[in-house]
Amino acid sequence: MGFKQRFVALRPWIDHRLFILFTICFLWAIIYAKFLLSVMMFALSILVLIQLSFKDYPFNRKHGTFLIMLLPFLAVVFSGVNSSDLGSFLHHVKMKLPFLILPFVWSYKRQFFAKNYKAILCTFVGLGLASIVPVAYTYFADFDSINKLISKGQSMPTPLGHIMYSLCLLGALNASIYLLLYPSKTHTFPKWFLISVAIIIFVFQHILASRTGVVLSYFSLAIIVGHFLYKHKKYMILTGLLACLFISPILAIKIVPSFKNKIAYANWDLKSYFNNQGVGYSDSERILSYKAGWVLIKQNPLLGTGIGDLRQCMKDTYLEELNHKGDKYPHNEYLFHFTGMGVVGLLLLMITLLFPIWYYRKEMDIFFFTFQCVFMLAFLVENTIERQQMIAYYLFFSLCGLAYMEISKQASKLN
């Protein structure tokens, strides 16, 4: 057998191993290497194109609900009709390219991601746990200084922005509990490992002191564990769980110095805002961004400002309407879409978020459901998917969940 014949015979084996390697690298890059995300995205795409060229699967295969994930990209492209700043517009188009590329990758590789869904989640659990070690070391090595920074509204050093990092840890927390309560039939994960990781990440979320991460951790636990207990009719345990979730944050404020400082700063920040002294402080700036966004929505409700012109329009509105020098986007994903892309952009975003939940309601995976709810709530206080790593994080696990539920749906039809 010649070299060419041996290569053709080995190619599927090589492709499969490369796809596993690139998938793991993609997961790692979400936390640690922003620059690598684009490289891995195109590497996965090229592998799929190679497999299509060798006719590993039909080119005209139905893409189904995966194409729903294209809508945020289309919303940005559509807003170009109303954008005069071409450079800024193209920046947003480039930022949203994963919404165009990755759904096609996942639609063709749905079998791979569905089969390895829980193994992928376990891998991310391990990555989340490993990422805590250097962050915790830095914190405890400079305990007093970092707590003092937190009391002034700053955050401890993390591999990416502390809110984004807390959302990634939240994904690992939810995955560990999910795998514990809904074990895989094909992969075995040690229960002691999953329990340990869940406890460590839950405690560390309080130390990290991201209010978004802490609140959503309690919310996620209530959804995943509550669903399991309700499904198995363990109502007394469910009542105890809800009581613990109510008491825990009260204890955390008293026990965890960083969390206590964060809450104290938030209270001071809000008081400063209501006393017209909050300019430059995090929550005050967030509220001002909401106000500026609403002013622009009233002016351009149908098409918005055009995503390319949003930054300049926000800057002008801050100065003219709020007497404040600023140019920040609205700290709310819904307001961001509504302001920059009008009601059309907001509608496309809502379809992206809600349609899969409705379509797969019978096959609903509780991790996928919780993941979507977490982002929908996070969108209320952050323009979360306007950052490259959060786009990658959101798309990766949303598409994995879609692949898992799509295969389950197909199997139920055959039965």
**Maximum alpha-carbon separation in the chain:** 82
Point out the least confidently predicted range of 78-92, 259-273, 389-403.
Answer: 259-273
Between CA 2 and CA 124 the distance in angstroms is 41
Q: For residue 60, what pLDDT band results from cuts at 50, 70 and 90?
A: low
- For residue range 165-198, list pLDDT tens digits in order: 999 999 999 999 999 999 887 777 888 999 999 9
What's the average model confidence in pLDDT over 118-136? 95
Asked whether the predicted pLDDT for residue 215 surpasses 80, the reply is yes
What's the average model confidence in pLDDT over 394-415? 88
Asked whether the predicted pLDDT for residue 22 surpasses 80, the reply is yes
Q: Which pLDDT score is estimated for 219? A: 93
Between CA 72 and CA 398 the distance in angstroms is 14
- For residue range 356-374, list pLDDT tens digits in order: 999 999 999 999 999 999 9
Asked whether the predicted pLDDT for residue 51 surpasses 80, the reply is yes
- For residue range 256-276, list pLDDT tens digits in order: 888 888 888 778 777 776 776
Greater model confidence, 410 or 88: 88
Q: Which pLDDT score is estimated for 78? A: 92
Q: For residue 293, what pLDDT band results from cuts at 50, 70 and 90?
A: very high
Greater model confidence, 191 or 1: 191
Asked whether the predicted pLDDT for residue 29 surpasses 80, the reply is yes
Q: For residue 254, what pLDDT band results from cuts at 50, 70 and 90?
A: confident
Q: Which pLDDT score is estimated for 174? A: 96
| DSSP string computed for 145-170 | HHHHHHHTT-----SS-HHHHHHHHH
- For residue range 39-49, list pLDDT tens digits in order: 999 999 999 88
User: Which of 104-113, 187-196, 277-286, 387-396 reaches the highest mean pLDDT?
Assistant: 387-396
Q: Which pLDDT score is estimated for 89? A: 94
- List the structure tokens of 312: 């300049």
What's the average model confidence in pLDDT over 386-405? 95
| pLDDT, mean over the chain | 88
Give percent of the chain with pLDDT exceeding 90. Answer: 56
What's the average model confidence in pLDDT over 10-20? 84
Q: Which pLDDT score is estimated for 59? A: 59
Between CA 314 and CA 311 the distance in angstroms is 5
In the chain, where are the structural domains located?
Answer: 1-61, 62-268+330-414
Can you give the pTM of this predicted structure?
0.93
| DSSP string computed for 274-337 | HTT--TTSHHHHHHHHHHHHHHHHHHSTTT-S-GGGHHHHHHHHHHHHH-----PPPSSHHHHH
Exposure of 209 by Cβ count < 10 A (0-12 exposed, 13-18 middle, 19+ buried)? buried
Q: Which pLDDT score is estimated for 1? A: 53
Q: For residue 55, what pLDDT band results from cuts at 50, 70 and 90?
A: confident
- State the residue for tokens 């639609």: 107
Backbone angles phi, psi at 61, to 5 degrees: -60, 140
Backbone angles phi, psi at 241, to 5 degrees: -60, -50
What's the average model confidence in pLDDT over 201-208? 93
